[in-house]
Amino acid sequence: MTESTFDHPLKRRRLLSWFAFSSGQTSFLLGVLMLTSICLLAIVPSLLSLPKPEAMDLLARLSPPSEAHLFGTDHLGRDQLARLLAAIPISLGAAAQTMGIILAIALPWGLIAGLGSPRLDMVMMRLSDIIMAFPTLVLALAVIGFMGASLEASILGVAAAWWPSNARLIRALVLSAKERDFVRAAHMAGASRSRLVFRHILPQILPPLAVMISLETASVLLALSSLSFLGIGAQPPTPEWGAMLNEARPFFAQAPHMLLAPGIAVVMTVLAFNLVGEGLRDLLDKREPFRW
């Protein structure tokens, strides 16, 4: 904000616009790149001849990175790299399932609350408020507590705790989409409910919805791996990054290499989703602040 106001000779600007991406574009592209790489990495094990993730080689327990085991081995002699890669479909799959459940509840909920009568809206919002009144992770813990610890329980627990905030967001988007002039015009011209929804409202809310989905997936992924880390999500021997870090805990001082890789894997995946979401959000937001 300390640049000179008139310091934009046209020639220089034209040059810059060729090279510089806006920060929104950078984030988005970087995030998509990372996600694609991670998905591609999931199929790598079948291409390279890596040991199977369950194969235990007790003689080589806790060995640091070597030629045979690129990322070292864990306390049961299993190859870390193989486990890391095997965890990709599991972690991503769990996150996808959770988001699927969340959207399956939140999308209709938000649409109905936003488009229905004010009475219905109030009742539906009250109901979701009740769920939101519990601290999110606490509710997930309780669900897991009663269902018994497992990956499925953690998926259901996180979905149960995360859906109301998403429903609220969707409702807000629907409400503001509903008020746009062209939607009201279509309504007055006699368009049916479903036509209004599918041709006018959904296309409008799709871009901010995409932002929401990316950012929420990041949050859900963090929650799921946290629960697995606590031992109440994915159960051994299922390879999952949080669970792998939990297993590494007792051996932390002797084998620090076990700490790094799964943690970095979580950070990279969550980061990818956050970059995609933030990048999209930036691209959609056209307003610029006044320069002081």
Partner 1 sequence: MFRFFLNRFGATLPTLLGMSFVAFAIVTLAPGDPVQMELRAMGVVPKPEDIAAIKAEYGLDKPFLARYIHWLWRAVQLDFGTSIATGRSVIEEIGLYLPATLMLAISSLVGSIVISLFLGALAIMGNRLTASLLRAITILLVSIPSFWLALILIHVFILDLGWSRLVGEGDLSDLILPALTLSLGAGASLGRLVYERVRAEACEDYVRLAIAKGISPLGILISHIAPRIIGPLVTVWATTLGWMLGGAVIVESIFGWPGLGQLILQAIGQRDYPVIQGYLVLMGLVFVTTSLIADLVVVVADPQLRRRLHRD
Partner 2 sequence: MVNVLSVSGLKVTCADDKALLNHISLDVTKGERIGLVGTSGSGKSLTAAALCGLLRPPLAACVDHLDIDGSEMRRASSRDWRRLRGKKIFQIFQSPASALTPGRRIGPQLKECCKQVGAPIETANLALERVKLSCDVMGQFPYQLSGGMKQRVLIVMALILRPTILIADEPTTGLDVLTEADILAALSEMLDETGSALIFISHDLRAVSQVANRVLVMEAGAIVEDCPVTELNQSVAPAARELAGAAKALEAIC
- Which residues of this chain interact with partner 2, rule CB under 8 A? 1-10, 13-14, 288-292
- From partner 1, partner 2, none, which one binds at residue 131 (CB under 5 to 8 Å depending on kind)? partner 1
Site for partner 1, rule CB under 8 A = 1-3, 23, 27, 126-127, 129-131, 133-149, 218, 222, 225-226, 229-232, 242, 245, 249, 252-253, 256, 259, 263, 266-267, 270-271, 274-275, 278, 287-292
Q: Are 83 and 74 in contact (CB under 8 A)?
A: yes
- Residue (8 or 180) nearer to partner 2, CB: 8
Provide the 3-class DSSP secondary structure of residue 79: strand
Q: How far is the CB of 77 from partner 1 (least distance, A)?
A: 22
- Residue (5 or 49) nearer to partner 2, CB: 5
Burial letters 200-228, b for 16+ CB under 10 A, else e = bbeebbeebbebbbbbbbbbbbbbbbbbb
- From partner 2, partner 1, none, which one binds at residue 226 (CB under 5 to 8 Å depending on kind)? partner 1
- Residue (219 or 238) nearer to partner 1, CB: 219
Record the tokens describing residue 230, joined without a space. Answer: 């606590």
- From partner 2, partner 1, none, which one binds at residue 266 (CB under 5 to 8 Å depending on kind)? partner 1
- From partner 2, partner 1, none, which one binds at residue 217 (CB under 5 to 8 Å depending on kind)? none
- From partner 2, partner 1, none, which one binds at residue 141 (CB under 5 to 8 Å depending on kind)? partner 1
What's the rounded Cα separation, in Å, for the pair 191 and 187? 5
> Which among 209, 226, 210 is positioned nearest to 270, based on CA atoms?
226
> Which among 149, 182, 270, 265 is positioned nearest to 221, based on CA atoms?
270
Q: How far is the CB of 18 from partner 2 (least distance, A)?
A: 12
The H-or-E segment that residue 213 falls in is helix 202-229
- From partner 1, partner 2, none, which one binds at residue 49 (CB under 5 to 8 Å depending on kind)? none
- Residue (146 or 290) nearer to partner 2, CB: 290
Q: How far is the CB of 67 from partner 1 (least distance, A)?
A: 26
What's the rounded Cα separation, in Å, for the pair 256 and 135? 33
- From partner 2, partner 1, none, which one binds at residue 9 (CB under 5 to 8 Å depending on kind)? partner 2
Neighbour tally for 48: CB within 10 Å: 10
- Residue (1 or 189) nearer to partner 2, CB: 1
- Residue (45 or 242) nearer to partner 1, CB: 242
Q: How far is the CB of 184 from partner 1 (least distance, A)?
A: 26
- Across-strand partners of 79? 73
Which residue blocks in 48-117 are alpha helix, DSSP H? 80-115
- Residue (101 or 183) nearer to partner 1, CB: 101
Residue found under tokens 């081995």: 73
What's the rounded Cα separation, in Å, for the pair 38 and 89? 10
Q: How far is the CB of 75 from partner 1 (least distance, A)?
A: 16
Q: How far is the CB of 9 from partner 2 (least distance, A)?
A: 6
How buried is residue 42: exposed, middle or buried, by Cβ count under 10 Å (0-12/13-18/19+)? middle
